[in-house]
Structure 1
């Protein structure tokens, strides 16, 4: 069976299982929307009290926040079960993935659908759409193409970081805390203009953990701020390419670390 068909069947089965409980679906979606809206309200409070952040007014920060949240939603809706890898290894569940006629990573990601992540994606799309109107974003074909590539690229950047760290579980057995730390950094700093931070922090969030490539650099290009990003302009314009390149490298690391998997025997 082709991989894309196997993935579609597994995801469909996971969604059907979750949609059996309509009330739970509505509550979890509402919870996801509220949780992600809190961050935007905090940014609005800060800019209302202290003014622009790094020269970015609230409308542009909302555009950046919407891009970051939409990319995050595009990632976590299909890959939220990556956080279950440690559990699958310890309980021996991962053994079954190795003997079935489908890729182990595909089976792990399709074991369940975490519905609150749909709230993340929905909130991101709404915030981005409203902010785009307020900043005067012109939806030209070129701008829309770049925006689409940037959103997918941003999702892949975050996904590459999570997949690379998760693959180390085959040696360390448990590194959920490290993955949680990366997620916290992405959520905490990804929605801010990095120009507001000290040089050391900005460099770390660009080259050490590539938070800037998720939304900050692409948003700067779309808002005609490429010259003020304090980075080489061509790197900002090429930011969407970072996602596929980093994810390909992370997947190769996953394949390499998978050889070190040792069954728990349970």
Structure 2
């Protein structure tokens, strides 16, 4: 626990420095945030157009879909805000910059995560939070008490897969195709109720790539729609715990791949 607390403190200090650096270019920061918000807003606009043709989707109304979309987008933003720097991990390996990271007496993952600040993800976060607030049913303490860990758990589920695939960059030349596929699956399937997909697809998105645990199951709990789930309601209530378990496993994968890292010699 002491090691985790130290890593979190270190992350916060380094990330604040990175943020101050990014804010030196104010116009670029504003454009990045607005671009992220517009991009994600256009994705929901497509759903809105479709829902005006079909009054419900898998038994979910437009307001419920908006809440699900906002929940997934908020979790996605919380995932990518700290992990956006992993996109550049392959470059660090090829150019030998990772050697410098490993020579410092600091957690290597924290150093990589704080190399840049994903300002576009701030736009994602703003859009997701606005959708959550606008589309949510009347809030109470019980809902808030479940929603907060559910969003964090959903972010950790997605983060665990991004970290695991990025870890492969330590031993593979290029993982962009795998990471692009993963991002498409989470973004395209995670914004819709699982009931709109076939039985095999639902099973894959629940037990192989647990996209359903990011937003669909927590949203089902918060909207009182657990009766339509293909798993017991207790599993949906425990969905935040899956994120913690998967991220702990992903970190073990990262440590294992790091032990097998061989410098490029550049």
Which TM-score band (shorter chain)? over 0.9
Who is 1:265 aligned against?
A: 265
Who is 1:169 aligned against?
A: 169
Q: Using the TM superposition, give the Cα deviation of residue 168 of structure 1 relative to its aligned residue in structure 2, in angstroms.
A: 1.5
Question: CA–CA distance in 2 between the matches of 1:177 and 1:91?
Answer: 20
Q: How many residues align?
A: 262
Question: CA–CA distance in 1 between the matches of 2:51 and 2:91?
Answer: 41
Question: CA–CA distance in 1 between the matches of 2:199 and 2:12?
Answer: 44
1:50 is aligned to 2:48 = no
Match of 1:121 among 116, 121, 125: 125
Question: CA–CA distance in 1 between the matches of 2:209 and 2:8?
Answer: 30
Who is 2:211 aligned against?
A: 211
Who is 2:97 aligned against?
A: 93
Question: CA–CA distance in 1 between the matches of 2:54 and 2:143?
Answer: 31
Q: Using the TM superposition, give the Cα deviation of residue 162 of structure 1 relative to its aligned residue in structure 2, in angstroms.
A: 0.7
Question: CA–CA distance in 2 between the matches of 1:143 and 1:113?
Answer: 31
Query: Is the partner of 1:168 in helix, strand or coil?
Result: helix
Who is 2:38 aligned against?
A: 34
Question: CA–CA distance in 1 between the matches of 2:64 and 2:30?
Answer: 31
Query: Is the partner of 1:56 in helix, strand or coil?
Result: coil
Tell which deviates more after alignment, 170-179 or 151-160. Answer: 170-179
Q: Using the TM superposition, give the Cα deviation of residue 51 of structure 1 relative to its aligned residue in structure 2, in angstroms.
A: 2.5
Who is 2:147 aligned against?
A: 147
Question: CA–CA distance in 2 between the matches of 1:169 and 1:27?
Answer: 30
Q: Using the TM superposition, give the Cα deviation of residue 229 of structure 1 relative to its aligned residue in structure 2, in angstroms.
A: 1.3
Q: Using the TM superposition, give the Cα deviation of residue 142 of structure 1 relative to its aligned residue in structure 2, in angstroms.
A: 1.6
Question: CA–CA distance in 2 between the matches of 1:102 and 1:51?
Answer: 54
1:222 is aligned to 2:222 = yes
Is the CA contact 1:90–1:264 (under 8 Å) kept in the aligned structure 2? yes
Q: Using the TM superposition, give the Cα deviation of residue 46 of structure 1 relative to its aligned residue in structure 2, in angstroms.
A: 1.0
- TM superposition score normalised by structure 2: 0.96
Question: CA–CA distance in 2 between the matches of 1:162 and 1:115?
Answer: 18
1:65 is aligned to 2:69 = yes
Is the CA contact 1:67–1:215 (under 8 Å) kept in the aligned structure 2? yes
Question: CA–CA distance in 2 between the matches of 1:232 and 1:83?
Answer: 36
Who is 1:185 aligned against?
A: 185
Tell which deviates more after alignment, 163-172 or 88-97. Answer: 163-172
Question: CA–CA distance in 2 between the matches of 1:257 and 1:30?
Answer: 36
Q: Deviations over 1:69-114 (max 9, x none)?
A: 0001111111111111111111111111101121110000000112
Question: CA–CA distance in 2 between the matches of 1:225 and 1:114?
Answer: 34
Question: CA–CA distance in 2 between the matches of 1:21 and 1:170?
Answer: 32
